[in-house]
Amino acid sequence: MGLQVGEAHSPAVLQKIIQAAVRNRSYREADQELSESAELSIGPKAVERAVRRIGGERVGQRDAATEAFQALPLPEQRDGCPQPKAPSLAVVQFDCGRMLVRERESVSTPSPLPAATGGGEEPPRPIEEDACREERVTEAAISAAAQCGAEAEADRWPAEEAQEAQEAAESPPVDECRSRFWRDSKVGCLLSMHSVESAEDPCPEIPASFVNVSRVTQLVRELGSHGSGVPPAAGEEKAEPGREEPRDPQRPAAPVPLVRTVLASRACSTAFGAILVAAAWARGFAAAARKAFVADGAAMNWTMWELYFSHYVPILDFIHALQYVFAAAMAGRSFDVGWEVYGRWIQLVWEGRVAVVIAELRQRQEALGLPPKDASATDPRKIIAVTLGYLETHQSRMDYARYRRLGLPIMSCYAESTVKQINHRVKGTEKFWSEAGAEAILQLRADYLSETQPLTRFWQKRQQTATGQRRYRCAA
């Protein structure tokens, strides 16, 4: 039957358990699905134990593959291709999600937090903050700028900030403790894509959706509240994302995605970069004729690129550049005047003429003056200074006209969509994970979302290598 020693379920039943566990939002829902659709009485804790065991095996395989890749000579790491044919366009996209992580206390003490309802939950123990930081400096400024374009929600963001501040001041210690357990989850997308190179820019004019008032203000507001990775307010949940394609404005000669591989982990960015590049090499990305690395402006993203993907074309996500340009255009101006400035600046950015925008921002900074040290995030002087620094830092990764001529993507929308699909399983205001449980479910959820079907190969190999025999060691 291919049963492993100590397992109570056949391989077919175990596959159903894992599939239900990674597809549903909790182990309880997975158990209910198994009971209703397969007439299996498993139990939530048994489902959780199966995920930890199988997820641990997959993590071990992933780490072994990473170590094997790192042992290869550098020329083979950069140019080798284990696949019969390398993709014509290989794209790596990276982003971060959020989840609640806590570990079991070393001594038996009453838990300061209520019992959690997610999978793999453990009583809490304060742990160190994640060393990886996401870009959050302009969140309040972007939200304030976005409010100018939505009259129906004119006072939404200031009111929400005031309400959150009031709730934080009045909240009991349990809420203060819970807020310390939000941690980053790293998510990478490996995309083989199809596109053609052009002698001229196939889309010199910016798509209409990026100069549409309602669309842009909605987009910037969404990025300002969640794009930086800040968790939503308690009780705020998004609709199930399913597996729909991300919304991306159609433009001439835009790359078409073919096959996606997903990777997710709680590892730090340096360790995750090694995992990501090993998986990219296994798919033949190193030998691709065209390669691109697309991410937002977080410093850790470009440290990862420099360490592992420096032979890929670095591209700053255009949408994140848009939110900074929008905030700076609106800073200290009426909406009508600011919108006119935004339309001109974003067209320049679309053309890759970022130097012109930087020059105008410097003039604007001189006119307003430098921000004081205690300037708020909504101070126009602060917004201009932050945007100016952002564009100067990433100017070399914003040659969007050249990227379009090369047939490369300029947005990380596929990674951001994947993060939402990962978060749908692991994220919740009362859903806490241990480190081991988090790593197991992230690995299996990523496998489930991958179009390269790693779980299919895993189950086949696992059953083929099962002997049903227990290994013994000689007594000393």
Structural contact between residues 361 and 328, judged by C-beta atoms closer than 8 angstroms? yes
Q: In one letter, which amino acid is 278?
A: A
Instruction: Return d(Cα 150, Cα 228) in angstroms, integer.
Output: 21
Q: Which residue has better confidence, 232 or 414? A: 414
Per-residue pLDDT at 7: 67
Q: Are residues 347 and 377 in the same domain?
A: yes
- In a domain? residue 4: no
Q: Are residues 60 and 92 in the same domain?
A: no
Between strands 89-101 and 182-194, the pairing is antiparallel
- In a domain? residue 475: no
Q: Which residue has better confidence, 365 or 217? A: 365
Instruction: Return d(Cα 189, Cα 420) in angstroms, integer.
Output: 13
Whether the pLDDT of residue 455 is over 80: the answer is: yes
3-state secondary structure at position 173:
helix
Q: Are residues 68 and 53 in the same domain?
A: yes
Instruction: Return d(Cα 61, Cα 68) in angstroms, integer.
Output: 11
Q: Which domain holds residue 249?
A: 79-433
- In a domain? residue 5: no
Per-residue pLDDT at 9: 78
Instruction: Return d(Cα 273, Cα 307) in angstroms, integer.
Output: 8
Length of the chain: 476
Q: Tell me the percentage of the chain whose pLDDT exceeds 70.
A: 75
- In a domain? residue 444: no
Whether the pLDDT of residue 168 is over 50: the answer is: no
Q: Using 50, 70 and 90 to split pLDDT, how confident is the model at 38?
A: confident
Q: Are residues 234 and 377 in the same domain?
A: yes
Q: Are residues 67 and 83 in the same domain?
A: no
- In a domain? residue 443: no
Instruction: Return d(Cα 419, Cα 446) in angstroms, integer.
Output: 10
Q: Are residues 68 and 89 in the same domain?
A: no
Q: Using 50, 70 and 90 to split pLDDT, how confident is the model at 179?
A: low
Q: Are residues 211 and 67 in the same domain?
A: no
Structural contact between residues 56 and 377, judged by C-beta atoms closer than 8 angstroms? no
Residue that the structure tokens 């307003």 belong to? 368
- In a domain? residue 421: yes
Q: Are residues 202 and 338 in the same domain?
A: yes
Q: What is the DSSP string of 332-377?
A: TS-HHHHHHHHHHHHHHHHTT-HHHHHHHHHHHHHHH-PPPTT--T
Mean predicted confidence (pLDDT) in 265-278: 95
Q: Using 50, 70 and 90 to split pLDDT, how confident is the model at 431?
A: confident
Q: Are residues 169 and 276 in the same domain?
A: yes
Whether the pLDDT of residue 129 is over 70: the answer is: no
**Digit-coded pLDDT (tens) for 272-283:** 999 999 999 999
Q: Are residues 63 and 85 in the same domain?
A: no
Q: Are residues 285 and 422 in the same domain?
A: yes
Q: Are residues 30 and 99 in the same domain?
A: no
- In a domain? residue 471: no
What total of structural domains would you count in the chain? 2
Whether the pLDDT of residue 135 is over 50: the answer is: no
Strands (E) across 269-352 are located at: 290-295, 313-316
Q: Please, what is the average pLDDT of the chain?
A: 80
Per-residue pLDDT at 3: 56
**Digit-coded pLDDT (tens) for 317-354:** 999 999 999 999 999 999 999 999 999 999 999 999 99
Mean predicted confidence (pLDDT) in 419-446: 92
- In a domain? residue 472: no
Whether the pLDDT of residue 231 is over 50: the answer is: no
